[in-house]
Structure 1
């Protein structure tokens, strides 16, 4: 096993932090909590952690079964990340999903999946696997899961702290970071 590389851990943590965009999701989380009455922070965080770790280890095997390589998936992922970034920067909705019925499962669907650990996160994990050591990615996943838990637990306080304008500024800033990440992933996997 290779030693942990702090620079990789920081990079992976920041990339996942930007793609998960838990701070940008605060308005959605607030809305879900109001409609469902309660969000189970612990349950949502555990599901997010399990989904990300499982996909990190078996995502490429799933690709093998359907005949794709990680570089091709990383390029596709870079395009998905690009469009998510454009949504965040421009404030438009390119991806539309069905309205899930809110019940006791709101902490898992739609909160843990697909809001937090959705297609963008899964694609990013496989893309990261082509560039970083697995143990460094795992540390980044754990750090982000802890951050997700803290945000879910303190969402009312954060809403008051940032205000509507502050949350919107965060979304735009993370959108620009994601755009740069998408371009880097595309270039590194197309060897341009």
Structure 2
């Protein structure tokens, strides 16, 4: 029982470090700048639920899928890094949203919130290559039993609940920052995200070529 508790707490710490809910708040605020308050909350709920489903599904089926397709983890990491890099470039160089978010939802506001919740919030921001690789390693069939894998899913659920709470609280933080502050944070976090994407790619290449760590 003690070992299971240690495994649970250890995996919570690992997943918190990888998913980093506090830094995701700035990305969430930047991606939902143009949404009304209700739509922003809808996007928060949908993004967390969808990301949890993606990570859980990939944890269970990812090894079989990659093995069946003959894709290595390093290849997956490089491909994911490229996608994250392209998204980060759009954050840095894309057009900033002007004006305050509309309080009255437009007819297509719900669809827009759903679209943003799926991309880029659920993936690649929350369920990105880094988190997918981490959950894949934590669910290793060769090292962990079914019960231990269930503990990993429970730890992931705890982190997702914390992430949702932070997203929902972002409305109040957004009032303090304002639209221009949110756009500024969007560009800064885009630059950081681009650096992380490059690091993911170079780290995978370093392992493949047996080069020293970057």
- Of residues 65, 70, 89, the one that matches 1:67 is 70
Could you say which residue in structure 2 is the equivalent of 1:163? 178
**Structure 2 residue 156 is matched with structure 1 residue 146:** no
| Alpha-carbon distance between aligned partners in 1 of 2:88 and 2:69, rounded to the nearest angstrom | 28
Alignment of 1:13-92 (within 5 A): 13-14=19-20, 17-18=23-24, 21-30=27-36, 33=39, 39=42, 42=45, 45-91=48-94
Give, in angstroms, the shift of residue 110 of structure 1.
1.9
Q: Contact 2:85/2:197 (CA < 8 Å) preserved in 1?
A: yes
Q: What is the aligned residue count?
A: 179
Structure with bigger helix share is: 2
| Alpha-carbon distance between aligned partners in 1 of 2:81 and 2:131, rounded to the nearest angstrom | 11
Give, in angstroms, the shift of residue 124 of structure 1.
3.3
Gaps of 5+ in 1: 94-100
CA-to-aligned-CA distance 1:4-39 (integer Å, 9 cap, x gap): 1676344302289549921222214438839xxx83
Q: Contact 2:88/2:194 (CA < 8 Å) preserved in 1?
A: yes
Gaps of 5+ in 2: 97-106, 140-150
* Rg larger for: 2
| Alpha-carbon distance between aligned partners in 2 of 1:57 and 1:170, rounded to the nearest angstrom | 35
Distance 1:49 1:55, change over 3 A: same
**Structure 2 residue 188 is matched with structure 1 residue 173:** yes
TM-score (norm 1): 0.67
**Structure 2 residue 90 is matched with structure 1 residue 112:** no
Give, in angstroms, the shift of residue 84 of structure 1.
1.5
Q: Contact 1:26/1:159 (CA < 8 Å) preserved in 2?
A: no
CA-to-aligned-CA distance 1:30-77 (integer Å, 9 cap, x gap): 38839xxx8385565433322332223323322222221111010111
Q: Contact 1:21/1:174 (CA < 8 Å) preserved in 2?
A: yes
Partner-residue secondary structure (3-state), 1:22: helix
Give, in angstroms, the shift of residue 163 of structure 1.
0.4
CA-to-aligned-CA distance 1:140-169 (integer Å, 9 cap, x gap): 674355323542x45653432220111012
- Of residues 131, 134, 146, the one that matches 1:125 is 131
TM-score (norm 2): 0.62
